A and B are shown apart, each in its own frame.
Chain A
Amino acid sequence: MSELTDLSLSEARNKLLNKDITATELATAHFAAIKQIEPLNAYILTTEDKALEMAAASDAKLAKGQAGILEGIPVGVKDLFCTKDVRTTASSKILGNFIPTYESTVTANMWTDGAVLLGKLNCDEFAMGSSNETSYFGDVVNPWQRRGDDNKTDDTKLVPGGSSGGSAAAVAARACLAATATDTGGSIRQPAAFTGTVGMKPTYGRCSRWGTVAFASSLDQAGPITRTVRDAAIMLQSMASYDNKDSTSVNVAVPAYEKALTGDIRGLKIGIPKEFKVDGMPAEIQQLWQQGIEWLKAAGAEIYDVSLPHTKYALPTYYIVAPAEASSNLARYDGVRYGLRVAGDNIDEQYANSRAEGFGAEVQRRILIGTYVLSAGYYDAYYKKAQRVRTLIKQDFDRAYEKIDLLLTPTTPTAAFGIGENIGDPLTMYLNDIFTVSVNMAGLPAISIPAGLSADGLPLGLQLIGKPFDEETLFRTADVMETAANFTARPQLMAK
């Protein structure tokens, strides 16, 4: 085990500031780790030369006492964020050779604060998936493995969740100190739950969407995946900003989130939404949820039962709104301005050929659903109806937050499943997001933290959902729960 890659982000930051280690040593140790975990297929591009240049610049700044909040911290970037002069593909064939001439606002913020780019991380194609099995660059493998009946490790390859599967796997396997990710229906929190990591989805509008490949614009939001709550707080402080290049970016100050980690949640009111107790919920998930309630109670929080009556409609609403927006956003991939071009006899054929060959099956499916629900005669019945139900979903939360400060739920209905187990059945795959998706519909912040292990030894997550722009209470409570959970289990497939 390299001690350097096993540090948390905040520990590494402190060691860098104390000059116990250098950014160059830290980056070099991480490239050795990345090499060891190549079979996980988490990285689809590494940027060693650039990283060493950035690390040297950080070392110079650290020497001069001019360190930014992420100075010298090696990070991985989900391949949905445009990085200037560094290939960005959204894990799609259609963008297979795209080299942005600009930098996304989120990553630009991180480089300004001193972070070091290790490389680009695999994800589901255009972030459409819950298992990282739709990537053009192949499946990502979860660093965790099941414990068999005989107590020996079962080497069945498991999914890391999705869409930010590469981000979650790389963080869990100690191949970066933190990673950027994006969440449209659960794509940060579900993979975090599947890999024993912390996944934070901020309030819609908190992080700029500029320069991030668009999936469903009214739902997409960037956030971090890390190994601790403190690390997530540090990352979000850097990633978040008001940006006049994104008209949905909200002009509110970004607090110093780390200061919110006071350890004191006495008197905080936590709601338990009864509609999340779904039929067929595995006993171990129910027990974990109850355990979470006990931890919060023991720390002095007050627990209340609340009702979010439209919860069961969040997923069907999502599967109208998200594909509709995706079909519009992905219209830009036409083989003319960038990306794959497949010749045809005329321009329409060229479009159709390029898109047929450039998009994978799941992306095509969602574009077609979106085109159908937006087409003449169906717009009111599907899209407008879904937007009305979305209002009701949001009103459920508004009403609950009149009485409580936060909600506690499980993150996922199950632990990680095997590669190939669900990919043939889109609807079963979609059900993975049943506990995460309503948060996106309402634009709320939420965090998943590793809270326990399943009977076969896989990580399980608990989710806290906050009020809009109150990420501080979310971090404070997650930090208390993280201490209580004391999750120290480690994945089998990690850099040694």
Chain B
Amino acid sequence: MAIDQATVRKVANLARIKVTDQQVANLEGELNQIIEFVEQLAEVNTDGVAPLTSAVAMTQPLRADVINDGGYADQIVKNAPVTDDGYFLVPRVVE
């Protein structure tokens, strides 16, 4: 098995998703099943093949380095769970 329960916990922590012991046990099986399925790509010879970074041939457009948007903090924070005076509030992070 590529993924053991410790790996599930580590990945869940990286993804910031809290998981219960029961979920860890279920996810171990489910994630291994999916990883086993995708591992068939190992049999494809990709020597000298560049990774595809864009499905459509195009060059990344550049725009002028100027401020062309903004000035509506009230709209930005409108859907936030807790705000104060145009700021997002979070639990204390600096003691």
Enumerate chain A interface residues (CB-CB to B < 8 A). 97-99, 101-102, 203-205, 218-219, 244, 247-248, 250-251, 310, 313, 316-317, 319-320, 327, 331, 334-341, 343-353, 355-356, 359, 364-365, 367-369, 371-373, 375, 382, 384-392, 394, 426-427, 430, 440-443, 468
Contacts and interface: CB of A to CB of B under 8 A. Distances in A.
B19 interface: yes
Which A-B residue pairs are the 8 nearest by beta carbons? A443-B55, A387-B51, A338-B79, A341-B81, A388-B46, A356-B18, A352-B18, A390-B52
Given A250-B58, A336-B88, A313 B40 contact: yes
A33 B95 CA distance: 58
Contacts, number: 164
B34 A371 contact: no
Interface of B: 3, 7-8, 11-19, 27, 30-31, 33-35, 37-42, 44, 46, 49-56, 58, 60-61, 63, 72, 75-82, 88, 90-91, 93
Contacts of A348: 16
Nearest to A100: B79
A53 B56 CA distance: 40
A372 B93 CA distance: 27
Contact of A367 (B17, B55, B75, B88): B17
28 contacts: A99-B79, A244-B61, A247-B60, A250-B56, A317-B41, A319-B38, A320-B38, A334-B16, A336-B81, A336-B88, A337-B76, A337-B77, A338-B81, A340-B81, A347-B93, A348-B16, A355-B15, A355-B18, A365-B27, A367-B15, A368-B31, A371-B14, A372-B11, A385-B41, A385-B46, A388-B51, A392-B44, A426-B33
A327 B15 contact: yes
B34 A426 contact: yes
Contacts of A250: 56, 58
Contact of A392 (B38, B40, B49, B63): B49
Contacts of B63: 244
Interface centre among B51, B61, B72 (most CB of A within 10 A): B51
Contacts of B3: 372
Contact of A351 (B16, B19, B34): B16
A311 B36 CA distance: 18
Nearest to B74: A101
A389 B46 contact: yes
A337 B15 CA distance: 17
A335 B53 CA distance: 31
A355 B51 contact: no
Contacts of B11: 368, 371-372, 375
B20 to A, nearest CB: 9
Given A316-B38, A356-B18, A388-B49, A248 B56 contact: yes
B53 A387 contact: yes
Given A204-B55, A319-B37, A390-B51, A368 B17 contact: yes
Nearest to B48: A388
B80 A338 contact: yes
Contacts of A205: 55-56, 58
A399 B76 CA distance: 47
B38 A382 contact: yes
A355 B16 contact: yes
Given A244-B63, A313-B44, A369 B35 contact: yes
A168 B41 CA distance: 33
Contacts of A384: 51
Nearest to B47: A388
A367 B38 CA distance: 16
Given A336-B88, A337-B80, A341-B82, A364 B17 contact: yes
Given A316-B37, A355-B18, A388-B49, A248 B54 contact: yes
Contact of B30 (A313, A355, A365, A388): A365
Contacts of B82: 341
Given A369-B34, A386-B38, 9 more contacts: A244-B63, A317-B41, A319-B38, A350-B91, A375-B14, A391-B52, A392-B44, A394-B52, A468-B56
A319 B35 CA distance: 9
Contacts of B51: 384, 387-388, 390-391
A199 to B, nearest CB: 19
Contacts of A353: 18
Nearest to A206: B56
B61 A101 contact: no
Nearest to B12: A368
B70 to A, nearest CB: 13
Given A327-B15, A348-B16, A427 B34 contact: yes
Given A247-B60, A347-B93, A387-B52, A101 B44 contact: no
B88 A337 contact: yes
Contact of A368 (B27, B52, B55): B27
Interface centre among A331, A371, A426 (most CB of B within 10 A): A371
